Amino acid sequence: MSTTFTCAEKLFLTSESVTEGHPDKVCDSVADAVLDEILRQDPEAHVACEVAATTGVVIILGEVLMKKGLYCNYEAVARRTITDIGYTSSQIGFDGATCAVLVAVKDQSPNIASAVSASLEVRTGEAADAAHMLGAGDQGMMIGFACNETPELMPLPISYAHKLCRRLAQVRKDGTLPYLRPDGKAQVTVQYCRGVPVRVDGIVVSAHHAPGMSQEQIRRDIKEHVIAAVVDPSMLDSQTKYWINPSGCFEVGGPVGDSGLSGRKIIVDTYGGIARHGGGSFSGKDPTKVDRSAAYMARYIAKNIVKAGIADRFELQVSYAIGKAEPVSLSVETYGTGRIPDDRIVELVQDNFNMCPGVIIERLNLRRPIYLPTAAYGHFGREDGDFPWEKTDMAESLRQQAGL
């Protein structure tokens, strides 16, 4: 795979993003809003919240373990979140104030709770220190990735796709394009030559809009106020292709146009398909779930490795067994861009980063209500909030240890 990527004369890579009003993202937002509300009351709570939505209905389900006497008003959280996204009227197709909110949340399994609270190492007397007290909330493999294609060290296709979707939301909210509605998508195809992005080959934008709008006007406005505001003109040429509302009319959107489900946009949430994905989703899960916390830690490590100049393109995989603190495997991929041997990079990772869940949570300060902003426009490459996994505070130390 390293050779294929770095040596290909012509390679096309595509990534997509969706707006906060996309039905799946509505569900992710409600799930993370619930998580934030519970963590605000009980930072030690265990939360696994899933959300589904369709015409006029939002369903909240999952498992929660929080201190006795505390209460989450799930309905109020859902209504506030949906309204903030922009679904405020049945004329738009969905109304956070009047939609039905069904809640089916139960207590977390005591078997899972005990495995998380006391790790396998603790239960077998093998715990070396307090770092091993907390067990992983589930089995699975998590991926961290970074590359030097953009200032935020993300792949260019997903970076552009996220920025286009954020811009769609911005021009809707600030009145630049008042006919836009909350739902929307963007997709960007970038041409690479020998591992370097050289041009944007194609852009797809689907914009939810008010009835009666001319598609010609929408296409002109999207090119002028969205695409031109985001994409570097030097990456566009006469061969760049544009598909704006390629299906034609997009008047019916959001949960009315398509049912939504949390955890269904995991590639949008991570690296746009440019890197591997372990399969676990993030939204609605507290940090004892390594699906979330270990993926954040893996991104933190990958970003610092690339920022240190140890590799131009770097992927880390880590895996866990439920209830066990120590990871069961760790591997790296540098795609042929590493400046030191991969074995040495593994040593650097193991020497500098403890991957036990309890240590990750403490190091990244994850028991806080910081998750709702991550529900849309990606969990990585974010520079617009308090996302500690995006810090590069270890880069200089790693560079020195690598002898670079």
CATH (domain of 235): 3.30.300.10
Of the candidates 81, 32, 83, 58, the residue with the CA atom closest to the CA atom of residue 256: 58
Residue 383 counted as domain residue: no
What pLDDT does residue 118 have? 62
Residues linked to residue 142 through DSSP beta bridges, in sequence order: 318
Higher pLDDT, 127 or 295: 295
Give the pLDDT mean for 48-65: 96
Residue 316 counted as domain residue: no
What pLDDT does residue 41 have? 96
Confidence band, pLDDT 50/70/90 cuts, at residue 107: confident
Residue 117 has pLDDT above 90, yes or no: no
What pLDDT does residue 135 have? 81
Residue 2 has pLDDT above 60, yes or no: no
Residue 136 counted as domain residue: no
Residues linked to residue 188 through DSSP beta bridges, in sequence order: 15, 203
Residue 106 counted as domain residue: no
Residue 15 counted as domain residue: yes
Rounded (10°) CA dihedral 271, 277, 282, 285:
-160
* 304 token code pair: 């610092």
- Encode pLDDT of 339-357 as tens digits: 999 999 999 999 999 999 9
Residue 110 has pLDDT above 80, yes or no: no
What pLDDT does residue 113 have? 66
| Arithmetic mean of pLDDT over the chain | 93
- Residue 228 one-letter amino acid: A
Rounded Cα–Cα distance for residues 324 and 313 (Å): 30
Proportion of the chain above pLDDT 70, given as a percent: 95
User: Residue 288's Cα: distance from chain center in Å?
Assistant: 17
- Residue 301 one-letter amino acid: I
Give the pLDDT mean for 300-316: 98
How far is CA 262 from each of CA 10, 269, 367, rounded to the nearest angstrom? 36, 11, 21
Q: Which range marks the domain in which residue 200 is found?
A: 7-19+156-253
Residue 217 counted as domain residue: yes
Rounded Cα–Cα distance for residues 47 and 179 (Å): 38
Residues linked to residue 184 through DSSP beta bridges, in sequence order: 207
- Phi first, then psi, for residue 87 (nearest 5°) are -90, 90
Residue 248 counted as domain residue: yes
Rounded Cα–Cα distance for residues 97 and 79 (Å): 6
CA atoms within 13 A on the CB side of 62: 24
User: Residue 4's Cα: distance from chain center in Å?
Assistant: 26
Residue 233 has pLDDT above 60, yes or no: yes
| Least confident piece of the model among 100-104, 129-133, 216-220, 338-342 | 129-133
What pLDDT does residue 268 have? 98
Proportion of the chain above pLDDT 90, given as a percent: 84
Give the pLDDT mean for 305-317: 98
CA atoms within 13 A on the CB side of 49: 34
| Least confident piece of the model among 105-114, 123-132, 234-243, 250-259 | 123-132
Residue 317 counted as domain residue: no
Give the pLDDT mean for 90-118: 84
Rounded Cα–Cα distance for residues 402 and 340 (Å): 7
How far is CA 369 from each of CA 32, 45, 120, 291, 349, rounded to the nearest angstrom? 9, 12, 28, 17, 28
What pLDDT does residue 1 have? 41
**Model pTM score:** 0.94
Of the candidates 67, 47, 145, the residue with the CA atom closest to the CA atom of residue 389: 145
Higher pLDDT, 294 or 137: 294
Query: For the chain, what's the residue count?
Result: 404
Q: Are the C-beta atoms of 376 and 19 separated by less than 8 Å?
A: yes
What pLDDT does residue 123 have? 73
What DSSP designation does 22 have? S
Residue 126 has pLDDT above 90, yes or no: no
Which helix (H) or strand (E) element contains residue 274?
Answer: none
Rounded Cα–Cα distance for residues 207 and 1 (Å): 35
For the chain, first and last CA: distance in Å? 25
